[in-house]
């Protein structure tokens, strides 16, 4: 997992890209990549306290990083980057910002909140910073650490495509704040009162942007389930091919179960008769665990869409609504609908003016009870059947694709992914492909 983020950062280096493009042999490419991309050495015991300093590009001591009136090169910036997957864009944005700051004569340290782990900025680094840049598509963790600092807050794509402009904006903002110290106190108050939400949903943005951010919050929490479940299912199919021959991948989906009440002819209840010497049993073990992980995809998607709208009160109606959508075979479209419905209902109920004596039970009883009842009740009685029809129609259309049609769909999705490199069009294609995988992976006839 370390290699992909490091390679993404290396590709932001102009010299590395130029040398890579001019390489004339496979070995030259391998040597070049090995030169720039390598796994971190394990830190010796007792050196954890110095890990931050080892990875930070700041060369001045914290005491010497204070801004001066006539030396723009003394500006010290810090930043945080994050994206829904936490793999590529997080590190590409960090590299782009660090390069732009270096070219402008400033020093900058970026905290990457990605899949390769998190090395936090130290309190000293944050205190010495003249301005902060957030480039993120999911919420920055512990953002209250940066309270009272000039802040440039943008999406991760902006940092990749226009890093120098963000550096200039941060420098200008730092100068403005230095001229008006009262802005720091006001910003500190605003940051501390608004730091509870764990999603990047900009309340001041247009509805189109907010809907995209809400959707991507749900997708970002669903991705670990996609990864774990998908890899386990694939490993199960691979083992089944070796142990069961050409039909092994199909047999492993039909002939094994974890349901202790199953009486189906020829179906093995795995936990009751697991044989370590039987390869098909190992294949079934991998497949069933992966299928269990995939079973959470729609509820998690729905739950965290609702969470992005209403914070914690949205989790119960979102997750329960997503589970009901799966039960009704409404697919990921049903999960998206229950997520939005549950989130907005929970947010609405949270805003009710209630007697003081009732306030204590609102978040633990009233809000989850009423929002879940309304969300799931509306879905079962009104919304579920038409959404199931839409989901079935989409599934039949995708299953009916072959030859040229499948190539056209692949070309369209590929073009959308590359169109704006992390922007809205990219996210639409990404969400479609990911949730389509969820629908396919949970289908009982997926292998066939």
Residues with catalytic roles: 83
Q: Which tokens hold the place of 421?
A: 């490199």
- Are 157 and 421 spatial neighbours (Cβ–Cβ below 8 Å)? yes
Residue with tokens 């390069």: 99
Tell how strand 151-154 and strand 107-112 pair up: unpaired
Tell me the three state secondary structure of residue 359: helix
Token pair 């050196």 is found at 47
Residues 6+ apart with CB under 8 A from 168: 104
Show the tokens assigned to 103.
């070219």
- Three-state secondary-structure class, residue 69: coil
All residues at 6 or more sequence positions from 424 whose CB lies less than 8 Å from its CB, including other chains: 208, 209, 212
Angle at 78 between CA 144 and CA 116, to 5 degrees: 85
Helix spans in 295-383 (H):
297-310, 315-327, 331-350, 356-359, 367-378
Query: E strands along 157-316, which residues?
Result: 256-257, 268-269
Contact 58, 65 (CB under 8 A): yes
DSSP 112-139: E-BTTB--PPPHHHHHH-SEEEEEESSP
Q: Is the CB of residue 239 less than 8 Å from the CB of residue 199? A: no
* Inter-residue contact 377 to 317 (CB < 8 Å): no
Least Cα distance to 37 among 1, 9, 6, 16 occurs for: 6
Contacts for 261 with CB less than 8 Å, ≥ 6 apart: none
Cα 277 versus chain centre, distance: 39
d(C-alpha 420, C-alpha 407), whole Å: 21
């Amino acid at each position: 997992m370390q290699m992909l983020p490091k390679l993404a950062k290396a590709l932001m280096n102009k010299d590395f890209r130029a040398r890579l493009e001019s390489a004339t042999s496979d070995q030259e490419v391998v040597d070049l990549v090995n030169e720039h991309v390598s796994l971190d050495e394990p830190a010796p015991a007792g050196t954890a306290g110095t890990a931050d300093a080892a990875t930070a590009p700041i060369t001045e001591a914290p005491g010497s990083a204070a801004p001066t009136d006539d030396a723009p090169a003394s500006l010290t910036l810090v930043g945080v980057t994050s994206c829904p997957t936490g793999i590529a864009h997080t590190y590409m944005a960090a590299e782009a910002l660090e390069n732009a700051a270096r070219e402008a004569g400033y020093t900058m340290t970026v905290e990457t909140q990605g899949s390769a782990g998190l090395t936090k900025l130290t309190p000293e680094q944050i205190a010495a910073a003249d301005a902060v840049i957030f480039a993120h598509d999911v919420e920055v963790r512990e953002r209250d650490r940066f309270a009272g600092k000039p802040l440039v807050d943008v999406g991760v794509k902006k940092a990749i495509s226009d890093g120098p402009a963000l550096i200039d904006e941060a420098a200008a903002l730092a100068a403005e704040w230095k001229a008006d110290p009262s802005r720091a106190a006001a910003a500190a108050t605003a940051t501390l009162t608004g730091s509870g939400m764990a999603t990047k949903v900009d309340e001041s943005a247009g509805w189109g942007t907010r809907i995209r951010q809400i959707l991507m919050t749900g997708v970002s929490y669903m991705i670990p389930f996609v990864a774990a479940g998908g890899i386990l299912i694939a490993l199960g199919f691979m083992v089944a091919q070796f142990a069961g021959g050409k039909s092994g991948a199909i047999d492993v989906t039909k002939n094994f179960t974890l349901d202790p009440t199953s009486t189906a002819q020829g179906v093995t209840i795995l936990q009751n008769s697991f044989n370590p010497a039987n390869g098909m049993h190992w294949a079934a073990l991998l497949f069933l665990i992966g299928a269990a992980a995939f079973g959470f995809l729609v509820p998690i998607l729905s739950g965290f869409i609702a969470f992005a709208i209403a914070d914690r009160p949205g989790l119960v109606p979102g997750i329960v609504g997503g589970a009901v959508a799966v039960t009704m075979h409404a697919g990921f479209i049903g999960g998206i609908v229950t997520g939005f419905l549950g989130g907005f209902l929970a947010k609405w109920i949270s805003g009710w003016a209630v007697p003081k004596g009732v306030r204590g039970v609102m978040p633990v009883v009233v809000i989850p009870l009423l929002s879940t009842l309304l969300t799931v009740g509306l879905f079962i009685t009104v919304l579920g059947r038409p959404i199931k029809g839409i989901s079935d129609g989409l599934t039949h259309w995708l299953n009916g694709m072959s030859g040229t049609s499948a190539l056209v769909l692949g070309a369209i999705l590929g073009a959308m992914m590359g169109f704006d490199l992390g922007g809205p069009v990219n996210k639409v294609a990404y969400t479609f492909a990911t949730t389509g995988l969820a629908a396919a992976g949970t289908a009982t006839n997926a292998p066939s």
